[in-house]
Chain A
């Protein structure tokens, strides 16, 4: 019964009285359609009270209106965790700002002797009511978290049921007392609008943001002297309001987008088991190839002979890469004489690795600056940027027991031969001391 009274009768009554009361007041007493300015009487406290209060409450009320009027859009926003977090955080922050502003405004009303003269009882009631309502709102934000999300299943349908004249309080019947009090507070707040200074909110002073500053000052000589300062103060306040709005909005964007990502950047990725395995395998493979490289180096320091490949693997068209004693790339071909032809693959121009495919003219190509090297002579083509020939490398052929069958020395002399039946098992080596260019 009491619920029906508070949540159905009261709201309709409040809206009715608010609408018709306000219209009546503007028709009978249009000059009172404002919040009687007291900046004239006391401006310092006003600045620290009125500014935070109005900045806070404007944004909070706008959020309430958006949430109730376009619930679909609101809910789609709130379904992002970070947006929800920031709306809640900013909402709570702004409500604290409101409370602080209201306290300053209240203390100012109660303590300034000049203001006492123009303060009505209704003004004090309004401050008290607002303080109560904002306090309740903040308490809801603290005790019943994520209101910006749960409102879409509770208070929003309730409001819409009122708007569509099909009142249904089942949506809010089970809400905590705290929330219910906040709702009742809202209706009471509507109720007092026509009887108080609150009516000024129907005259939204949007043009204040853009119109040239106006100032009301005492016209005594002392004030005249400080007139410039007064205007400067006024400008400062205007900038402050704009900057505050800009920073709140920018901060919201930053908070939702950048800071979260910056944090996540340093937090580091959390990989799935599959990704982790893939990454590990990749790392291991790279480590192994580095290990191979190191082993090659070690081998070249210790061993007198380094295996290039099996003799049977040699090919006249496509060379086989190997690493010579200086840890530089080299290529092994089968020469025209049927014996190995080992040639350095480090381009004599700027040290790129020369390709291993022999073209129709018996040349290999360095892709960096297009030098063609004849593999028989090592000489580059005439137009090539490389001028020096690729050096040949001496080699040794051994059978599987390590007996030397043939060798080519640094001076290009060849000793020994390789019989046809030995070709299957013979292996090609480079020898220490023979690494000097042949």
Chain B
């Protein structure tokens, strides 16, 4: 009995510390909040930028929703229609594409800086975990959205992606070996990537994922406002500035600048200009797969190793990384920010190198 009582007390203490009721008011969450000023301060803007890009995604996504049709016969035509005929359609679609990449870039940067600044320690564990899940949701957004234009690269990359899930089955014992296949079929909906897959991905992309992301983002932001900014550097910062309204206005100024850049970028450089045409042609179920099927750049860091190394190595490595990410608040509790910065820098270097030079590394080892 007493043991149950102790467990209960532990849980309730945990919750009380993460959701301090006395701080649940405008005064302590907004008016009193201060943002430390130090050499890592720029890291405080990365989260806001990620949210800004998410808002851009919601806005441009709603615009696209007016014309996009999620059926195998009409999807590609409707996307072409948006590009070719709808006033500002190409711009909106292009902004959606650029902004999605930016959102993922800044989400990853945000994770690395938060890690380096040790922003995950007590009482901010929930913020961190919610953030990690948000990142995974963001990746899923990218994966599901990639299919919707229903062109060659979209369908074939999705086939490869889903098939990789099934590949996991061979490492599982007995009945469990079937689970990945069942999982793939659930998402695929039919024997091959087709109308059922498109419908499912569409539902995920425009309703389920946005709702999930918005909900978690609410928790994430509530925690950030409740507990305030983390100290960020080992020696306490000498100076700090008011969150309201100094930091907020700086944030807004940055958003405005970034919006301008995004707008001009979307106006001038079509996101699809990085792909050769055959990959953008409508998917043809009866033809062969064109050469050069690749996922989006933000999956390169796992795609190229997957091409080079045995599947089980990647599987084990990614499980370890996910485990570390989720349990970071407890694993790195005692690590100094210097060491954390070093780890973050190394991880960042790996991501940059694999993304920028992945192709060359792949060619080098394959030939």
Which residues of A are in contact with B by a Cβ distance under 8 Å? Answer: 261-262, 264-269, 271, 275, 279, 282-283, 286-287, 289-290, 293, 321, 323, 326-329, 345, 349-356, 366-370, 385
Show 11 residue pairs from A and B whose CB-CB distance is below 8 angstroms, ordered by the A residue. Answer: A265-B63, A266-B66, A267-B87, A282-B77, A293-B72, A327-B191, A350-B160, A350-B163, A351-B163, A354-B288, A370-B366
In the complex, B274 has a CB within 8 A of chain A? no
Report if B192 contacts A (CB, 8 A): yes
Q: Which residues of the other chain, B, contact A282 by a CB distance below 8 angstroms?
A: 77, 80
**C-alpha spacing A313/B137, complex, angstroms:** 50
Q: Is B292 an interface residue (CB 8 A)?
A: yes
- B85:A323 contact, CB within 8 angstroms: no
A271:B85 contact, CB within 8 angstroms = yes
- The closest CB in chain A to the CB of B81 belongs to A279
| B124 located at the interface, meaning its Cβ lies under 8 Å from any Cβ of chain A in the complex | no
Kindly provide the distance from the CB of B133 to the nearest chain A CB, expressed in whole angstroms: 27
**Which residue from chain A places its CB closest to the CB of B63 in the assembled complex?**
A265
Choose one: A262, A328, A366; the contact of B192 (CB below 8 Å). A328
Q: Is B164 an interface residue (CB 8 A)?
A: yes
Q: Is the CB–CB distance between B73 and A287 below 8 Å? A: yes
Complex contacts, B149 vs chain A, CB 8 Å? none
Given contacts A282-B77, A367-B290, contact A264 B307 (CB under 8 A): no
Give the chain B neighbours of A264 by CB distance below 8 A: 87-88
Q: Which residues of A contact B92 (CB under 8 A)?
A: 265
Given A265-B92, A329-B286: A352 and B159 interface contact (C-beta under 8 Å): yes
Task: Determine which of A267, A349, A351, A355 lies in contact with B288 in the assembled complex, contact meaning CB atoms within 8 Å.
Answer: A355
Question: CA of A352 to CA of B164 in the docked complex: distance in angstroms?
Answer: 12
**B177 to A: closest C-beta gap in Å:** 16
Once the chains are docked, how many angstroms separate the CA of A265 from the CA of B88? 6
Task: Verify if B282 is at the interface (C-beta below 8 Å from A).
Answer: yes
Tell me the complex Cα distance, A267–B72, Å.
Answer: 26
Verify A269–B86 contact, CB threshold 8 A: yes
B residues contacting the other copy or chain, number (CB 8 A): 36
> Max chain B CB contacts within 10 Å: which of A286, A323, A355, A369?
A286
B86's contact among A265, A345, A355, A369, by CB below 8 Å, is which?
A: A265
- A283 to B, closest residue via Cβ: B77
Q: Does B291 lie at the interface of the complex (its beta carbon under 8 Å from any beta carbon of A)?
A: yes
Q: Is the CB of B293 within 8 A of A321?
A: no
Q: B92 — nearest CB in chain A belongs to which residue?
A: A265
A275 to B77, CA, bound (A): 13
CA distance A283 to B77 in the complex (A): 7
Q: Nearest CB to that of B290 among chain A residues?
A: A367
Pairwise interchain contact A261-B87, C-beta atoms closer than 8 A: yes
Do B159 and A350 touch (CB < 8 A)?
A: yes
Chain B residues 77 to 127 lying within 8 A of chain A, measured CB to CB, are: 77, 80-81, 85-89, 92
Query: Given A264-B88, A328-B192, do A352 and B289 touch, yes or no (CB 8 Å)?
Result: yes
- Docked pose: A9 CA to B351 CA in angstroms: 80
Instruction: Give the nearest-CB partner of B293 in chain A.
Output: A368
Question: Other than the known A286-B76, A293-B285, what 10 A-B pairs have Cβ atoms closer than 8 Å?
Answer: A261-B87, A265-B66, A269-B86, A279-B85, A323-B285, A327-B191, A350-B160, A350-B167, A367-B291, A368-B289
User: Does B156 touch A at the CB level, under 8 Å?
Assistant: yes
Question: What 7 pairs between A and B have smallest CB-CB spacing?
Answer: A264-B87, A290-B73, A269-B85, A367-B291, A350-B163, A352-B289, A286-B73
Asked whether, in the complex, the Cβ of B293 is within 8 Å of the Cβ of A353, the reply is: no
Contact in complex: A345, B77 (CB < 8 Å): no
Interface check B74, CB cutoff 8 A:
yes
Greatest chain A CB density within 10 A among B71, B92, B164, B289 is at B289
A315 CB to closest chain B CB (Å) equals 15
> How far is the CB of B149 from the nearest CB of chain A, in Å?
13
Measured CB to CB, the nearest residue on chain B to A323 is: B286
